[in-house]
Amino acid sequence: MKTDSIFYRLFQEFPSIFFELIGSSPDTAIGYEFTSLEVKQLAFRMDGLFLPKTEDFNQPFYLVEVQFQPDKKFYRRLFSELFIYLKQSEILYPWQVVVIYPQRKVEREERIQFSEILALNRVRRIYLDELDEEISSSLGIKVVKLIIEKEDNVGEKAKALVKQAQQQLTDEAIKRNLIDLIETIIVYKLPNKSREEIEAMFGLSELKQTKVYQEAFEEGELKGELKAKLATIPELTKEGLSIEQIARVLKLPIDFVENESRKYQ
């Protein structure tokens, strides 16, 4: 699963979730801008940076890294990124490093080199499976934890989260973005599941109408099936079926059918 890109999107669209993860008020996100940055010279790319928007130099900046695979050289790269960035940017805000792991067993500490640095208050290591119940009760944190949920439970968890989002969130744009994010996690977490299996598990018939599902077509997972269906559109049009009827018969989003139909007009 593309965990890096999922976390990047999560923090980009819902920065308050990051501050919940580190035990701060979600409102702290208002004072920060989230970005990704390539460190010149060694071509390192940081997973994410939360940079203060004000000139209050008591506020820290956060270097965030997501690490879901064991890597003996991870901390060598991480602290290289940090100190090269400090040199190049000459940034005045104090630094904080936050590393997000799925479980503690993934971490490779390399104690001989980094034990003192890792013991600093400036370094936080978050293990998603160890988050306490109070933090985990947040809707945003529940979405994060969906990433490490077992396959057998992920469908029910996702449905519960969608229901909670629909009940709790009043802003329609935020609600739609969060549900799209949940759908993204499901699609990438279950790459071997068919469309029908995911729809049945997820409990949302509109899944195939969403951006992430359309992206799955483009990525090729369902490319052959899509191509075959699109090839039938001209014949169905000649038979007098409307766009809506063709979309229903082929189980495709209406805009897919509309775009394809224009090619034959």
Q: What is the pLDDT of residues 122-145, one digit of tens each?
A: 999 999 999 887 677 889 999 999
136 Cβ neighbours under 8 A, 6+ residues apart: 142, 145
Q: Which sign does the torsion angle of CA 17, 9, 149, 171 carry?
A: positive
* Residue 48 CB-density burial (10 A; 0-12 exposed, 13-18 middle, 19+ buried): buried
Residue 183: band (very low, low, confident or very high) from pLDDT cuts 50, 70, 90 = confident
CATH number of the structural domain 1-132: 3.40.1350
Q: What is the pLDDT of residues 9-40, one digit of tens each?
A: 889 889 999 999 999 999 999 999 998 776 55
Average pLDDT, stretch 209-223? 52
Average pLDDT, stretch 163-179? 88
pLDDT at position 242 is 80
pLDDT at position 203 is 58
The residue behind tokens 């229901």 is 163
Lowest mean pLDDT among 31-40, 76-85, 167-176, 192-201: 192-201
Residue 112: band (very low, low, confident or very high) from pLDDT cuts 50, 70, 90 = very high
| Domain ranges across the chain | 1-132, 149-221, 223-262
What single-letter amino acid sits at 76? R
Average pLDDT, stretch 174-194? 80
Query: CA 19 to CA 168: how far, in whole Å?
Result: 20
Residue 237: band (very low, low, confident or very high) from pLDDT cuts 50, 70, 90 = confident
- Work out the angle at residue 24's Cα, subtended by the Cα atoms of residues 183 and 146, and round it to the nearest 5 degrees: 20
Residue 6 has pLDDT above 90, yes or no: no
pLDDT at position 82 is 93
Mean of all residue pLDDT scores within the chain: 82
Q: What is the pLDDT of residues 74-108, one digit of tens each?
A: 999 999 989 999 998 889 999 999 999 999 999 99
Q: Is 236 in contact with 249 (CB distance < 8 Å)?
A: yes
Lowest mean pLDDT among 10-14, 86-90, 152-156, 218-222: 218-222
The residue behind tokens 């709790």 is 168
Residue 173 or residue 45, greater confidence:
173
Q: Could you tell me where the beta strands, DSSP code E, fall in the chain?
A: 32-39, 44-52, 61-66, 95-101, 123-127
Residue 199: band (very low, low, confident or very high) from pLDDT cuts 50, 70, 90 = low
Average pLDDT, stretch 237-254? 76
pLDDT at position 260 is 73
Determine how β-strand 32-39 pairs with β-strand 61-66. Answer: unpaired
